[in-house]
Structure 1
Amino acid sequence: MKTIVWILSGLIALATAARGEEGCGKDIECKGERICVQRQCVDPETRPPPPPEEHASLNAPPAPIAGASSPMAQLDATRHRHLGFFIRPDLGVGYLSTKASQGGVDATVLGAAGTFGLAAGGALAENSILAFHIWDVVVSEPTFKSNGTTVNNTDGKVSLFALGPEYTGYFGENYYFSVSPSLTRVRFEANGQSSDTNVGFGLRGAIGKEWWAGDHWGLGVVAHLSTSFNKDSGSNAPTWSSWSGTIAFTATYN
């Protein structure tokens, strides 16, 4: 009987030692006033202090500076707007007729034409553009008419050259109008020879529509109506009156 009691006492001691090695789970498993901290029984005054709390202000991002703006924000502010530097080339086709009369003889040179233009400048205000504009209208192998006589596809060329200021105003959904008062000159070429008129006055009016193809690039179409009045060279020379209608494709940076 004593042997059985001794064996049971040994088993209880082993179980108690094993449980002590496993550590405590709550305060009531500790003796006296000791408490359970991190699976160990400790005196209350030896409880480890809690870790310091991180203040939210240490991790918070810095407040934005009033009035400051990033380069990206400045770029977005001008996106799809007509501000700053401006350049617009155009290329198209149309029709040109130039006519002069002298001594009862009327002469007309006309035909299908090509046109090219380039305007460069800047915005006076949003949607209000002032630029320098060069443009031309050129007819190859024109038709010549004089007093009832018509000669088709003559081996020659007639060209109207112009330059001057241009004002462009945008309105609505990227529609615009342009006006270009210009200094002009007409050149006639035939049989390897050329003749130029004196410098005269011309005007080109345009109305067009553009579609944004990028943040600052727009592609569009435009219709031109152009006129020019140029006195021919020489004494008592007639004045050539020129009229042209053209349609062109445009590419505008603004």
Structure 2
Amino acid sequence: MKRLLSALAVASLVGIAAPAHARLELDSPGAHEGFYLRMGLGPSALKFGVDGLDVKGTGVGFNLALGGTIAPNLILFGEVTSSAASNPTVAQGGDIWRADRSSFAVVSIGPGLTYYFMPANVFLSGSLLLTQVQFSDMYSREDTEYGPGARLALGKEWLVGRNWGLGLAADAAWSSIPPTNPSSGAKNATTTSFGLSFSATYN
């Protein structure tokens, strides 16, 4: 009987200690839980193409993600991204020229998931997006329809506070933009972008 009581006591202590240990891990600095905010800014290269017309340039990319933890180290978020290039290069029919005093931007919004590989604090992020391209010059602005897109990012963060991290990530995005008038028989345009971003994350 004494042995049985001793075994039960040990089991109870283990059962109490394990959840406590798990709570300590979750509450420790660098743990990924609760509210999630990530902001990124950095250089980007983007391209728009349709029916033999290519517009490409380099500029600045921005991304903002808001969400929360749904499982250990797994984040569900909503994301807004934008990449813009000024004075892009235009190529069509063998001719290439620079479109001075103009710009184009690729703007996207949609949900995504981020997973952190711990303890390295390396993350992989993927988003499904609705994307629009905006063309502008000194006198006007023209927007495309919204089309489906996707974005992938791979990065690493370094802890600078109990809940804050600074990071560096590489990302790639793609989208397919339908024509403004579908009955015209015009093809879908495509966009691609690649970038590096310096990020600040609260979690």
Which stretches in structure 1 are left out of the alignment for 5+ residues? 1-65, 68-72
In the alignment, structure 1 residue 89 sits paired with structure 2 residue 39: yes
Amino acid at match of 1:174: N
1:156–1:77 distance in 2 versus 1, CA, 3 Å: same
Report how many aligned residue pairs link the two structures: 180
Aligned pairs for 1:226-241 within 5 A: 226-234=173-181, 235-236=183-184, 237-241=186-190
In the alignment, structure 1 residue 162 sits paired with structure 2 residue 162: no
Counterpart CA distance in 2 for 1:232 and 1:219 is: 40
Q: Over residues 45-94 of structure 1, what are the superposed CA-to-partner deviations in whole Å (9 max), with x where a residue is unaligned? A: xxxxxxxxxxxxxxxxxxxxx99xxxxx9798242100111000000112
Backbone CA RMSD of aligned residues? 2.0
* Greater displacement, 113-122 / 231-240: 231-240
The aligned residue for residue 141 of structure 1 is: 87
State the 4+ residue runs in structure 1 displaced beyond 6 angstroms.
Answer: 73-76
Bigger share in strand: 2
Q: Over residues 8-46 of structure 1, what are the superposed CA-to-partner deviations in whole Å (9 max), with x where a residue is unaligned? A: xxxxxxxxxxxxxxxxxxxxxxxxxxxxxxxxxxxxxxx
| Percent of aligned pairs sharing the same letter | 33
Aligned pairs for 1:136-215 within 5 A: 136-172=82-118, 173-215=120-162
Larger radius of gyration: 1
Aligned pairs for 1:1-254 within 5 A: 77-101=27-51, 106-172=52-118, 173-234=120-181, 235-236=183-184, 237-254=186-203
**Structure 1 residue 232: deviation in Å?**
2.8
Asked whether the equivalents of residues 26 and 33 of structure 2 are also in contact (C-alpha less than 8 Å), the reply is no
TM-score computed with the length of structure 2 as normaliser: 0.83
Counterpart CA distance in 2 for 1:165 and 1:78 is: 28
Which stretches in structure 2 are left out of the alignment for 5+ residues? 1-15, 18-22
TM-score computed with the length of structure 1 as normaliser: 0.67
SS of the aligned residue for 2:65 comes to: strand
1:115–1:216 distance in 2 versus 1, CA, 3 Å: same
Amino acid at match of 1:230: I
